[in-house]
Structure 1
Amino acid sequence: MENIRNFSIIAHIDHGKSTLADRMLQLTKVVSDNNLREQTLDTLDIERERGITVKSQTAALPYTAKNGKEYLLNLVDTPGHVDFSYEVSRALASCEAAVLLVDASQGVEAQTVANLYLAMENDLEIVPVINKVDLPSADIDGVLEQIENELGLPAEEVILASGKTGIGIEDILEAIVERVPHPEGNEEEKVSALIFDATYDPYRGAVIHTRMFNGVLKPGDKIKFMFSGETYDIEEVGYFRIQREKRDSLKAGEVGYIIAGIKRVSDIKNGDTITLNSNPCEGPLSGFREVKPVVFSSFYPIASDDYEDLSQAMERLQLNDASLIYEKDTSSALGSGFRCGFLGLLHLEIIQQRLEREFNQSIIVTAPSVRYRFQMSDGSTVYIDNPVEYPDSTFIKQSEELYIRANIVLPAEYLGPIIKLCMERRGIQQNMNYIDKKRVELIFEIPLGEVMFDFYDQLKSMSRGYASFDYEILDYRDSDLVKVDILVSGERVDALSIIVHRSRSESRGRHMCERLKDTIPKQMFKVPIQAAISGKIIARETISAMRKDVLAKCYGGDVSRKRKLLEKQKKGKKRMKMVGNVEIPQEAFLAVLKTKED
């Protein structure tokens, strides 16, 4: 155990985490130069394309230090995005250290700060690294000053590196060996191991990623999950060396995998504790919580015949992603589909793209919403994430919505417009810190529902892409919520209903009506598009009727002849409207999600 080091790499999105990991794999000869590809630890196509890590990976790196000793360095990779912060926290709980990466040209950003706090909560040794020092735009002195002032880490401990060229990689590994304490634990004690992730193998079932704290596990042992109470027989244990490497046992302090014939990833809970069924440990490891979705949306197949294919695709996707939650849903406008829960907007986008790419599904996605809480007059509490299930307003005693603490780091020149944007979204300013002369950190408490609708797009466009955004969930607070219904030709379209704050209802209703007017094709009769709250119309647009020029044949003659033809046409239009049916195209559902600038 003296020669084991467990560490993680944490950083803001796109600060070069995966590239740095590539150089470490190359230096420790885990991957040969011939087999190396960019972002080796990113296994999904979408991760490689967008340069983000969605699913964390693990690698055991054998390293001979300058002191001549052999070390086993376990790299526990983490996702970078705020949506997966619980996964990050479980990965960090498996380590003794974190390599904190800061981009030499971008500097300290919102998630850099958030991830540092997360690492400090777990009492990890921090190894600060400035990456991308080879860039022409690198401002090393400025970033060193930010690390010292904003993060409170000594500048002399910072290592300068470049994941692209390999500068400083050996210095980082040496710092991990020298500064990081070896794992604590005892092989003789009762088994306790932390589950920090799980993946799916089509031939072997779910593969558990685990960190051993005490005891020894080997094939044939009967293990027990302390949260679910389920028991399984271990088939195989081993290390991750990109591919799985089978071992005789996993001992205290080690990081590895367990295969135990588990059918689905959803049967395994991140943060759960593994122990022996015959001789369990006293209690579970701290920090476990059930992952709860915060963003909800419905998926419907474009062609109703594809419902079965979509159902199978959702099942197969859930085998790989335990955080995806879904149930059957129906809509009068869109037919049968699924109501899904996600960890955040990025998670929603990734699931949608994976369905379209990996499973060739053509789907309509309804407007994302959050979960609201209602205190009813009979004393009960109701949680609603689908506007269709909105309770009768006469029985609502109090309505509440979820708030977040938003951390925004931005150049000082864009401060005014960004504060105005947050205020417009009903944000409450908590703090403002100057990181240095040019960069400011803003802390706002904002309703999560306000962030769902084009907030991130507006933030990026106002700051020309320089602002970074990170958030954490706070609590439910009293709010004046209403349900806005959209009526097309007098018929309510349930898939377009939204729950919003009363102060924003008129602007959102008008925006949706304008979008629908532009996308619904003209009919032979006038089509009114209305936004209503409890039957009261708050906004309206009208699609004018397609008209035949019935006066074309009248050249001259009495005006009463023209009036007679127009009256006849008017009666026909009226009769047509009574039997006419307005088909809402798929583009209309997508159009209402877009921002006003699109």
Structure 2
Amino acid sequence: MKNIRNFCIIAHIDHGKSTLADRLLDYTGSVTEREKQNQLLDSMDLERERGITIKSHAIQMDYIYKGEEYVLNLIDTPGHVDFSYEVSRSIAACEGALLIVDAAQSIQAQTISNLYLALENDLEIIPVLNKVDLPSANPEEVTDDIVELLGCNPEDVIHASGKTGFGVDKILEAVIERIPAPKGDPDGPLQALIFDSVYNTFRGIETYFRVFNGEIKKGQKIKFVATDKEYFADEVGTLKLTQVAKKSVKTGDVGYLITGIKTAKEVKVGDTITDFERPTTNIVEGFEDVKPMVFAGIYPVDTEDYEELRNSMEKLQLNDASLVFFPESSAALGFGFRCGFLGMLHMEIIQERLEREFDMTVITTVPNVSYNAYTNKNPDTPFIVNNPSDLPDPSTVNRVEEPYIKATIITKADFVGNVMSLCIEKRGMILNQTYLTPERVELTFDMPLAEIVFDFYDRLKTVSKGYASFDYHPIGMKTSKLVRLDILLNAQTVDALSALIHADNAQNIGKKMCEKLKELIPRQQFDIPIQAAIGAKIISRETIKALRKDVTAKCYGGDISRKRKLLEKQKKGKKRMRQVGNVEIPQQAFMAVLKLND
């Protein structure tokens, strides 16, 4: 056990985590020449295309240091704020972390928030200055920033390059020397933490775990504490590039378990595995339940695919524990699910994965956040509103509270004005402005979460030419003057397009939504009025003109009344058509509403 090291890699987006993980695998000889490729641990097509890590990936490496064999369990984690739940789960299974900082970009918002996560779990931090080979790198200055942040010595910061492989030997040396070996009782009752799981079509659910006490043997009868179910361990083993079956996985090690479970609900990430005969009394204290930030409806295009969509979502939830969903129905779209996501990127990725991995074509409604509404009858009991159409009648509502966040933005000094005006436009309140260095500024704002849901992150990158980094955490609910904006098509409310909006912005947003829908909805045989309404009051209107046949073409000369008669006849037909007509809304119309500022 003294020769095992469990560590993860944490950093901001694009600071070179996956590239450095590739070099560590090369250096320890864990991959053959034939298996080598960039972003080796990112197994999903989506991760490769976008160049981001979405899932944490665990892998075991063997390394000989000073004549002794060591087993190194590495977990590569995502950097984007939307996947911070993956990071918190990886941290719970480790004793140490490599904190990677880009020598050209210095410390960013997500670097700091991931560092705090690691410190809360008492992890040994090894700072690594990556990309030192870049012409724009500024190693001395960035080393000073790291020393100031961590309170370590400048010589503790390892200079490395994920591209060339420079400094990888020093990183491995530091992992072995500085990160403590796992503690635990090899003879005690089995106690293991589930930190991830994946669905395998042929073998059922594969569970990834870390053993804290005891050992798990092949064929052993085990029990999952949270669900209180027993299974037999059909196969256990460790996670190399492919799975390696073993007779047992001992204290301190990381491995996988196959028990032939077929139903997704039986495996909970964060659960404790123990022995059936000799159960442990201590449950592993891991991580809290995930708190979704953004809600949106996901509906199958064909209502008959509802059950298939449910199965796909359950399998996806195994692989992504931060996805939360429950059934709902909509007048416009039929049966579907209300889903909770950690952010807009997370939502986009889930939608793509449903389409690619499960061949499901889905419609996603306008995302929103969850509100608390208080009625005049019960002014002290909140009514949770996840969907704008659930909001009670405005005349009975006493007040509505919306979630607020504390946003931390780190940017270059040149862009402070642009960032401030964007935050103020989004109803943000500035709390603090700190100059970390003469060039870099940290701004702290209180902002409504609803305002950052749509396009805040994209616009922040635009106004700061890509230099601003952004991190946030919830700080509770505040009362706001909110109204429900409904969109009516041909006098029918489309509940999937309803949104809760601040009263001051309602007129502007209503007008933009009507204009956008006018562009996207195809013309029909009859006039389609598009209206934005607050309660019974219409605040904006656009009309999509009908496609008309030229009924007067055959009148060449003669009295005007002949033409008039034909036009009147056509008008009556169009009116009759409009009463029975049904307007189909294309999928891009639901998503286009998000990009109102484009």
Q: Counterpart of 2:503? A: 502
The 1:414–1:266 alpha-carbon spacing in structure 2 relative to 1, beyond 3 Å, is farther
Q: Confirm or deny: 8 A CA contact 1:224 1:274 kept in the other structure.
A: yes
- Partners of 1:275 and 1:167 lie apart in 2 by 43
Q: Deviations over 1:8-57 (max 9, x none)?
A: 11011111111111111111111112211221211111111112222211
- Partners of 1:501 and 1:78 lie apart in 2 by 37
Q: So what's the TM-score if we normalise by structure 2?
A: 0.92
User: Superposed, which structure 2 residues align to 1:16-415 within 5 Å?
Assistant: 16-65=16-65, 67-303=66-302, 310-311=309-310, 313-376=312-375, 377-378=377-378, 380-415=381-416
Residue identity in the other structure for 2:511: R
Q: CA deviation at 1:503?
A: 2.6
RMSD of aligned C-alpha atoms? 2.7
SS at match of 2:176: helix
Q: Counterpart of 1:448? A: 449
Q: Counterpart of 2:530? A: 529
SS at match of 2:366: coil
- Partners of 1:265 and 1:333 lie apart in 2 by 30
Q: Deviations over 1:520-551 (max 9, x none)?
A: 23445543221112212222223345566788
- Partners of 1:172 and 1:589 lie apart in 2 by 48
- Partners of 1:581 and 1:265 lie apart in 2 by 39
Residue identity in the other structure for 1:222: K
- Partners of 2:9 and 2:159 lie apart in 1 by 15
SS at match of 1:108: coil
Residue identity in the other structure for 1:432: Q
SS at match of 2:517: helix
SS at match of 1:296: strand
Q: CA deviation at 1:164?
A: 1.4
- Partners of 1:573 and 1:196 lie apart in 2 by 61
Q: CA deviation at 1:115?
A: 0.7
Q: CA deviation at 1:106?
A: 1.8
Q: CA deviation at 1:352?
A: 1.0
Q: Confirm or deny: 8 A CA contact 2:85 2:322 kept in the other structure.
A: no
- Partners of 1:506 and 1:309 lie apart in 2 by 40
- Partners of 2:29 and 2:263 lie apart in 1 by 33
SS at match of 2:295: strand
Q: So what's the TM-score if we normalise by structure 1?
A: 0.92
Q: Confirm or deny: 8 A CA contact 1:302 1:586 kept in the other structure.
A: no
Q: CA deviation at 1:158?
A: 0.9
SS at match of 2:115: helix
- Partners of 1:341 and 1:36 lie apart in 2 by 37
Residue identity in the other structure for 2:466: G
User: Superposed, which structure 2 residues align to 1:410-425 within 5 Å?
Assistant: 410-425=411-426
- Partners of 2:236 and 2:580 lie apart in 1 by 68
Q: Confirm or deny: 8 A CA contact 1:8 1:98 kept in the other structure.
A: yes
Q: Confirm or deny: 8 A CA contact 1:325 1:340 kept in the other structure.
A: yes
Q: CA deviation at 1:577?
A: 4.1
Q: Confirm or deny: 8 A CA contact 2:209 2:254 kept in the other structure.
A: yes
Identity %: 55
Q: CA deviation at 1:438?
A: 1.5
Bigger mean CA offset, 209-218 vs 5-14: 209-218
Structure 2 segments unaligned to the other structure (5+ residues): none
SS at match of 1:127: strand
- Partners of 2:320 and 2:292 lie apart in 1 by 13
- Partners of 1:530 and 1:582 lie apart in 2 by 14
Q: Confirm or deny: 8 A CA contact 1:401 1:479 kept in the other structure.
A: yes
The 1:198–1:580 alpha-carbon spacing in structure 2 relative to 1, beyond 3 Å, is closer
Q: Confirm or deny: 8 A CA contact 1:113 1:151 kept in the other structure.
A: no
How many residue pairs get aligned? The number is 596
SS at match of 1:253: coil
The 1:10–1:320 alpha-carbon spacing in structure 2 relative to 1, beyond 3 Å, is closer
Q: Counterpart of 2:470? A: 469
Q: CA deviation at 1:78?
A: 1.9
The 1:561–1:130 alpha-carbon spacing in structure 2 relative to 1, beyond 3 Å, is same
Q: Counterpart of 1:493? A: 494
Q: Counterpart of 1:426? A: 427
